[in-house]
């Protein structure tokens, strides 16, 4: 078995961690810088952090409910919608289907009718409008989608092209919040467990993906994933997650998911609530594609 450190294979398998070379040391230092940014700590604490131990990812459990805030007060990181958006920008378009505005997204709309199984998850996103002083963005439409517990995406994956589960739209209430009933997604090769979402100005705007205000992703905390992936149906996720970290992920790796790491409460029996505050700025152009 190859020896690893902080989720990365050691380039010199027969040597100690301190003897892995300058390149490995720089990667380790940069990884700790990302972690400090995710925790909201300044550069002056870097020396202390480098001398002490600690976890690569923040704690996943919270003692109180409410919405996750990520780190900082700036705009949510803009990310790719990926290859399976289902918004008409890459093939099929679920947003043109009657019934797509719904809170429970576990079952397909229309003829498919399949229901995604897995550990229950309530997803809560609170959208704030930075162009309006950070006020709740009431009435905005939020489209979410994610993979099932086997790592497949409805409308795209083999055997799922006739299904559209785990996709849906909700309109933000007076507090800017949308809530979806779903299941915890899997971890598939090369990607940290996540949920995609797009923010539109209002319900009428979802008819055209070009109207999107922001495109981003929610990152799930590691200890929650470790707990969920011990459940039946998630077996493959254990192996995939063991090969990843937030810092090595192709999407979250630039800052460890600082503005996208959700606050999570709950348990396997009663289900988890995954919450994040999403700050958007209508004065900027989204870059995700």
Shared domain check, 184 and 128? yes
Average pLDDT, whole number, for the chain? Answer: 82
> Pick from 196, 239, 166: which is nearest to 83 by CA?
196
What was the pLDDT predicted at 216? Answer: 97
In a domain, 288, yes or no: no
Shared domain check, 148 and 120? yes
In a domain, 286, yes or no: no
Shared domain check, 78 and 43? no
Shared domain check, 10 and 143? no
- Predicted TM-score (pTM) of this structure: 0.76
What was the pLDDT predicted at 74? Answer: 87
pLDDT band of residue 112 (cuts 50, 70, 90) is confident
In a domain, 285, yes or no: no
In a domain, 265, yes or no: yes
Using the 3D structure, point to which of 54, 69, 93 is the last residue of a domain. 54
Bridge partners for 215 per DSSP:
198
Shared domain check, 207 and 107? yes
Using DSSP's 3-state secondary structure scheme, residue 244 falls into coil
- Is it the case that residue 284 has pLDDT exceeding 90? no
Structurally, the chain folds into a number of domains equal to: 2
Distance between CA 22 and CA 149 in Å, rounded?
40
In a domain, 212, yes or no: yes
Shared domain check, 78 and 196? yes
Q: In angstroms, what CA-CA distances link 24 with 1, 10, 127, 198?
A: 19, 8, 39, 37
CATH, residue 274: 2.60.130.10
Shared domain check, 79 and 44? no
- How confident is the model over 240-267, as a mean pLDDT? 95
Shared domain check, 259 and 119? yes
Alpha carbon 75 to chain centroid, angstroms = 16
pLDDT band of residue 32 (cuts 50, 70, 90) is very low
What was the pLDDT predicted at 73? Answer: 72
Q: Domain range spanning residue 186?
A: 59-280
Shared domain check, 76 and 33? no
- Is it the case that residue 43 has pLDDT exceeding 50? no
In a domain, 218, yes or no: yes
CB–CB of 122/66 below 8 Å?
Answer: no
Per DSSP, 77 falls in state P
Shared domain check, 82 and 63? yes
In a domain, 108, yes or no: yes
- How confident is the model over 80-88, as a mean pLDDT? 96
Shared domain check, 66 and 17? no
In a domain, 289, yes or no: no
- Is it the case that residue 105 has pLDDT exceeding 90? yes
- How confident is the model over 169-197, as a mean pLDDT? 98
- Of residues 63 and 171, more confidence is placed in 171
Shared domain check, 200 and 147? yes
């Amino acid at each position: 078995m190859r020896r690893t450190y902080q989720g990365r294979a050691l380039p010199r398998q027969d040597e100690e961690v301190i003897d892995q070379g300058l390149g490995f040391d720089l990667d380790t230092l940069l990884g700790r810088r990302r972690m400090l940014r995710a925790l909201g700590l300044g550069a002056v604490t870097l020396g202390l952090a480098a001398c002490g131990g600690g976890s690569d990812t923040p704690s996943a459990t919270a003692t109180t409910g409410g919405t996750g805030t990520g780190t900082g007060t700036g705009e949510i990181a803009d990310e790719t919608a990926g290859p399976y958006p289902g918004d008409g920008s890459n093939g099929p378009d679920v947003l043109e289907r009657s019934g797509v505005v719904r809170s429970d997204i576990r079952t397909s709309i229309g003829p498919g009718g399949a229901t995604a199984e897995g550990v229950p998850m309530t997803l809560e996103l609170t959208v704030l409008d930075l162009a309006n002083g950070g006020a709740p963005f009431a009435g905005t439409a939020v489209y979410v989608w994610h993979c099932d517990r086997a790592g497949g995406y409805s409308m795209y994956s083999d055997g799922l092209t006739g299904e559209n589960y785990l996709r849906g739209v909700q309109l933000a209430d007076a507090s800017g919040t949308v809530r979806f009933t779903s299941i915890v997604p899997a971890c598939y090769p090369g990607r940290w467990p996540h949920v995609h979402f797009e923010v539109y100005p209002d319900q009428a705007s979802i008819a055209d993906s070009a109207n999107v205000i922001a495109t981003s992703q929610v990152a799930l905390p590691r200890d929650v994933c470790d707990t969920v992936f011990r459940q039946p149906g998630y077996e493959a996720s254990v192996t995939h997650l063991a090969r990843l970290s937030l810092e090595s992920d192709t999407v979250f790796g630039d800052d460890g998911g600082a503005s996208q790491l959700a606050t999570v409460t709950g348990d396997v029996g009663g289900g988890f609530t995954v919450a994040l505050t999403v700050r958007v700025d209508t004065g900027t152009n989204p870059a995700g594609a």
